[in-house]
């Protein structure tokens, strides 16, 4: 059975308003461990073509993608409009770089548990942040679309199971 709902996390008015109808499975098949979870993903990258590539991989999998051109714009979105389920960020950006964005997200109580995926050409810094536990995953540029899709879906599935465990859902 499919149910149609609007995403209540999006703003009621303003330039970012989108009419998004989300279809999701409300009853699971016998062999399914959990339903595919639709996630709101904030993609942060100063390169518009990189954001477009990330969006083209994530949206066909059923995710809602919100974009920001730098870390400060991402923080502004999070503080005023929406708390994303997952943040995908580049490291090299003007105004507020990815490492500073990650630091802000990890220190604020409302955002400390949001999964963060670094997508960057700076392999050394990306791996160092991942190994230090500041990010949940690292994918190097140029991206492998299948690897990104697998990573995001695994994080979404993990978040759903953690939510269910916290709410006592079997």
**In-domain check, residue 119:** yes
pLDDT band at 47 (very low <50, low <70, confident <90, very high): very high
**In-domain check, residue 28:** no
pLDDT tens-digit readout, 4-40: 334 444 444 443 333 222 222 222 222 333 334 468 9
Is 82 a residue whose pLDDT tops 70? yes
- The total of other beta-carbon atoms located within 10 Å of residue 167's CB is 7
- The total of other beta-carbon atoms located within 10 Å of residue 95's CB is 12
Is 59 a residue whose pLDDT tops 80? yes
Question: What is the C-alpha separation between 75 and 110, in angstroms, rounded?
Answer: 12
**In-domain check, residue 120:** yes
Q: Give me the helix-helix angle, 123-131 and 98-107, nearest 10°.
A: 10
Q: Are strands 86-89 and 21-25 parallel, antiparallel or unpaired?
A: unpaired
Global pTM value: 0.74
| pLDDT of res. 163 | 61
Mean pLDDT of 126-141: 93
**In-domain check, residue 77:** yes
Percent of the chain exceeding pLDDT 70 equals 71
**In-domain check, residue 22:** no
**Number of residues that make up the chain:** 170
Two tokens at 134? 């500041």
CA distances from 148 to 13, 23, 53 (A): 31, 22, 11
**In-domain check, residue 26:** no
**In-domain check, residue 9:** no
Q: Domain range spanning residue 111? A: 37-166
Mean pLDDT of 79-91: 91
25: β partners: 2
68: β partners: 44
| pLDDT of res. 160 | 61
CATH of the domain at 76: 3.40.50.2300
Structural element, H or E, at residue 87: strand 86-89
In total, how many domains does the chain have?
Answer: 1
**In-domain check, residue 150:** yes
pLDDT band at 130 (very low <50, low <70, confident <90, very high): very high
| pLDDT of res. 127 | 92
Mean pLDDT of 146-170: 72
Closest CA to 120 of 40, 45, 42: 45
């Amino acid at each position: 059975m499919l149910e149609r709902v609007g995403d209540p996390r999006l703003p009621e008015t303003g330039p970012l308003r989108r009419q998004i109808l989300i279809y999701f499975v409300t009853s699971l098949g016998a062999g399914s461990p959990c339903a595919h979870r639709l996630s709101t993903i904030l993609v942060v990258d100063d390169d518009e073509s990189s954001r477009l590539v990330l969006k083209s991989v994530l949206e066909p999998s059923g995710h809602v993608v919100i974009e920001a051109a730098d870390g400060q714009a991402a923080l502004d979105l999070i503080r005023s409009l929406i708390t994303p389920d997952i943040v995908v960020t580049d490291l090299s950006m003007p105004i507020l770089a990815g490492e500073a964005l990650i630091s802000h997200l990890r220190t604020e109580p409302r955002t400390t548990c949001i999964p963060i995926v670094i997508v960057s050409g700076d392999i050394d810094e990306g791996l160092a942040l991942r190994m230090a536990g500041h990010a949940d995953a690292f994918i190097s540029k140029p991206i492998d679309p299948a690897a990104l899709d697998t990573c995001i879906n695994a994080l979404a599935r993990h978040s759903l199971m953690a939510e269910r465990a916290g709410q006592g859902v079997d």
